[in-house]
Structure 1
Amino acid sequence: MDRGLLYAKPPSLSSINFLIDNLKESMSIALVDFYPLAGRLSTIKYEDDHASWVYVDPNKGPGATLIHASGIEGVTVSDIVTCYESSSRFIWSFFDMGELKVVNHDGHTRPLLSVQVTDLVDGVFIGFTMNHCLGDGTSLWHFITALSKIFMGRGDENEKPIFKAVFADGYGPVLKLPYLDPTEYVTRFDVDPQLRVRVFHFSADVIAKLKDQARKNNNNNNNHAISSFQALAAFMWLSVARARNLPSDSDMNCWLSADTRPKYDPPLPNTHFGNFVHLIRVTSKMDNLMKNGLSWAAMFLHQGVMGFDEKSNMANLKARSESPDVAPLMKLRNFFGTNPPLIFSGSMRFDTYGPEFGLGRAVTTRTGYSTWMNGRIVVDPGREGGGSVDVQVCLLSDIMTALESDNEFMSYIS
């Protein structure tokens, strides 16, 4: 999992080494509290059971990594902001482990946390890479925010992470995977050269308009409960479906990443560090989706979200505890072919522009290769705030071209 922040170089930054030195000191302080990020994965094998247990060993390995790198010659802040197409794969080099085929299991020998500072002509890119086994987007942004506050001398005792494993009753702390050797479950992948990624910006007014449209013309009495995110996700679902132009009886799948912390009793705080993500899956036939439109699609997604409650969360936790397994998302490509589900990740609620590191407010955010997957959609708040949203979309080249040629879709893009 990788997320990066792009900053313009402020006149007050006399030397990039000053930034590196202060970041190194801040990381050493932050990792006292976020100590598992300085460790490595370890595995215990149970030969008789043909099983293994993978866990985090905080005392293993040389720790987290901080890298100072030089950017590609001549690349400016403007180049990164304005060019997010296939040629922008150079951004992968702004993240440690940005090469292909690195997977979570490599945390046995590679850092669980790596921070790379890339010096550009007129800017600085700080790329954060965290092993997804340890945490989700909420946890990653928790660490980035805490690190920035320490850097700025504003450390907050109330933001210290909580490390406490959550198990279904009667299970844990050891959960055995039904594999003895990593070759039985580790899947590596190449990024399809036909994939393109683009960031689309939705202003706050447009998001409000989409929510208003989603709440109208709907006979369901709960239409007023449709959220801004659900309206946006429904709009993207419809738009990509039109771009794919599939037969009417084809399935069009939409999966929303849900934070399960609020689904416990009592709810877990956002500072509870870990991977608390569940995919809410909804499916519609193409003809239903096209015929019923935005408000129907938004309500369908809303009902899926509302259906995932504390009871279903605990049932899901118990099922995963009873039968632990590994299900790499990248296998979806082979399973769904050219019609994979849209998978939404990120959040409109993340404080992506709060961390400053003495560089002022970030110009934009970017991701590395780990999000380059057909149908992957990453949602971030827009830089200007106020409810604006940036949506990173990854699609096959011909589908992206069709989306960009869709006048209805592009009329909403700022």
Structure 2
Amino acid sequence: MPSSSPTLFSKCTIIPDQKSTIGNLKLSVSDLPMLSCHYIQKGCLFTKPSIPFHNLIAIIKTALSRTLSIFPPLAGRLTTDSDGYVYITCNDAGVDFITAIATELYIHDLLSTMDVNESFKEFFTFDRKVSYSGHYSPIMAVQVTELSDGIFIGCAVNHAVTDGTSFWNFFNTFAQLCRGANKCIRNSPSFRRDSVLISNAVLRLPEGGPVVTFNADAPIRERIFSFSREAIQKLKARANNRRWTENNNAVELMQKHMNDHYNNNNNNKENGNGKVAALIENWFKTNVNSKQQTVTVTETETVEISSFQSLCALLWRAVTRARKFHPSKTTTFRMAVNCRHRVKPELESFYFGNAIQSVPTYASAGDVMSKDIRWCAEQLNKNVKAHDNGMVRKFVEDWENNPRCFPLGNPDGGSITMGSSPRFPMYDNDFGWGKPLAVRSGKANKFDGKISAFPGRDGSGTVDLEVVLAPETMAGLENDAEFMVYATRQL
């Protein structure tokens, strides 16, 4: 279905309903590198409420104003002092609020396309805005788009101010206040600035600020692949050299926040490609269902591979095959690691700001393709497990010795960057008329190899991967038998 641009209905500034009592918040060594990144763009698709749209907008505006009083940095601006330190000034300058009309669009049409529908990209403002511009532009903007039978609420937030944990805590609180459940805010944010992440090092920036470090106009395709709980159980059992059975209760759920049941009716063979279906069926018979297949587990193989590490290993192998590298080519799998509970003393669970570090794992294409999933998952497991307090501090020290913006992108063509998390409570957002049908993102920070992990809507342990690849690589992934035996296309 072709993209259809919403019609701007109104635009205004929303300010907090109470004045901020928070002073300047210094950007940390996790915040500063994000100044060259696009604003985060995430939002939720809902069924259309029964109340008139103009009444709904009034309710949402009031809730947003109240939410900004709980999250005053979002209504502020960035400032740089004479020494080069960058701060969030909580000055109640407000956020942009936009309403738009796209009543020619229907929920079914948006969710039924094979690739992510391009119309979703039009449901966000601040398109490709670089985070440094928070010095002179709002730190956040909210756009509410009316569809024929639905509503999309999209937020664009400065990435130097928030990470995924902070963003979804804001979004959940926003929804909580909108539906009137305001007696007790579930997860109050912490604005402390006294941890090892706060540094005296100065990030020297060029005149006018930094630019993104990747080609935002390079051709890409974007799809969402779903992995059912059963498929993930099978994959984890395979990575841990265990036989999977339907009665196996040793299951690690991929997120702690459980959502309402939703049957997405995915089907592997609904991809319109008979060749792929045949490849999948043949691979499944010879590699998964074979009763003769047995694996001996030695005493030295004691590392427990998690469900998500198993899934990442599957993706790493499939994308590497699709890229058709020479065996000697070095590949990189980057994972964003939450440092809140890793650093000592620990940060609060809802510390507001960026508290993430990018952990790379390197391996030759030959090893990734020739060794099994367990080997690939073990490489990821070792690096994530090793990222303790000492490693967090080592990363901080390394940055202090060479302050720099984060080199987001895929300059050598061999990288995969995994962002977001299936543990984020993306579907805990009932604004008063039901939970979201889908979570989607905008154009921000999209490049070949950028992957984002979302929880499945049904809350049973399913995982959705938002996969962004060069067109020829995506075609190879869609025809990869090992990958597609576990993946289904989200509808």
1:215-265 Cα distance to aligned partner (Å, 9 max, x none): 115657455521111011111101111111100101111011100001122
Whether the aligned pair in 1 keeps the contact of 2:221 and 2:470 (CA below 8 Å) is: yes
The one-letter amino acid paired with 1:377 is I
Whether the aligned pair in 2 keeps the contact of 1:249 and 1:287 (CA below 8 Å) is: yes
2:77 is the alignment partner of 1:40: yes
Pick from 453, 460, 463 the counterpart of residue 389 of structure 1: 463
The one-letter amino acid paired with 2:208 is P
For the pair shown, the structure with the greater C-alpha radius of gyration is 2
Pick from 310, 317, 324 the counterpart of residue 389 of structure 2: 310
2:207 is the alignment partner of 1:181: yes
Normalised by the length of structure 2, the TM-score is 0.76
In 2: Cα distance, 1:118 partner to 1:168 partner: 41
2:337 is the alignment partner of 1:258: yes
Identity across matched positions, percent: 30
Matched ranges for 1:40-59 at <5 A? 40-46=77-83, 52-59=84-91
Root-mean-square deviation (Å): 2.0
- CA 1:180–1:398 in 2, change beyond 3 Å: closer, same or farther? closer
Whether the aligned pair in 2 keeps the contact of 1:238 and 1:290 (CA below 8 Å) is: yes
Structure 2: which 5+ runs fail to align? 1-39, 242-294
Q: CA deviation at 1:207?
A: 0.8
Whether the aligned pair in 2 keeps the contact of 1:167 and 1:317 (CA below 8 Å) is: no
Matched ranges for 1:132-171 at <5 A? 132-155=159-182, 156-157=184-185, 159-168=187-196
In 2: Cα distance, 1:187 partner to 1:206 partner: 37
2:32 is the alignment partner of 1:7: no
Aligned to 2:126: 97
Whether the aligned pair in 2 keeps the contact of 1:340 and 1:374 (CA below 8 Å) is: no
Secondary structure at the counterpart of residue 143 of structure 2:
strand
Normalised by the length of structure 1, the TM-score is 0.90
Q: CA deviation at 1:167?
A: 4.3
The one-letter amino acid paired with 2:383 is G
Secondary structure at the counterpart of residue 20 of structure 1:
helix
In 2: Cα distance, 1:381 partner to 1:394 partner: 17
The one-letter amino acid paired with 1:68 is T
In 1: Cα distance, 2:134 partner to 2:222 partner: 27
In 2: Cα distance, 1:181 partner to 1:69 partner: 35
Aligned to 2:65: 28
- CA 1:219–1:128 in 2, change beyond 3 Å: closer, same or farther? farther
1:72-97 Cα distance to aligned partner (Å, 9 max, x none): x52211122122527x3332210111
Q: CA deviation at 1:322?
A: 4.5
The one-letter amino acid paired with 2:188 is K
Secondary structure at the counterpart of residue 125 of structure 2:
coil
In 1: Cα distance, 2:397 partner to 2:449 partner: 29
Q: CA deviation at 1:412?
A: 1.2
In 1: Cα distance, 2:126 partner to 2:364 partner: 39
Pick from 223, 241, 256 the counterpart of residue 320 of structure 2: 241
- CA 1:84–1:104 in 2, change beyond 3 Å: closer, same or farther? farther
1:314-352 Cα distance to aligned partner (Å, 9 max, x none): 2222333444322341xx34x31xx24110011111111
Matched ranges for 1:178-327 at <5 A? 178-179=204-205, 181-183=207-209, 185-187=210-212, 190-216=215-241, 217=295, 219=298, 221=300, 223-327=302-406
1:157-209 Cα distance to aligned partner (Å, 9 max, x none): 4511100124439x64x5422236235x3347653352000000110100111
Whether the aligned pair in 2 keeps the contact of 1:206 and 1:412 (CA below 8 Å) is: yes
Secondary structure at the counterpart of residue 396 of structure 2:
helix
Whether the aligned pair in 1 keeps the contact of 2:74 and 2:140 (CA below 8 Å) is: yes
Bigger shift: residues 249-258 or 155-164 = 155-164
Whether the aligned pair in 2 keeps the contact of 1:168 and 1:321 (CA below 8 Å) is: no
In 2: Cα distance, 1:111 partner to 1:223 partner: 50
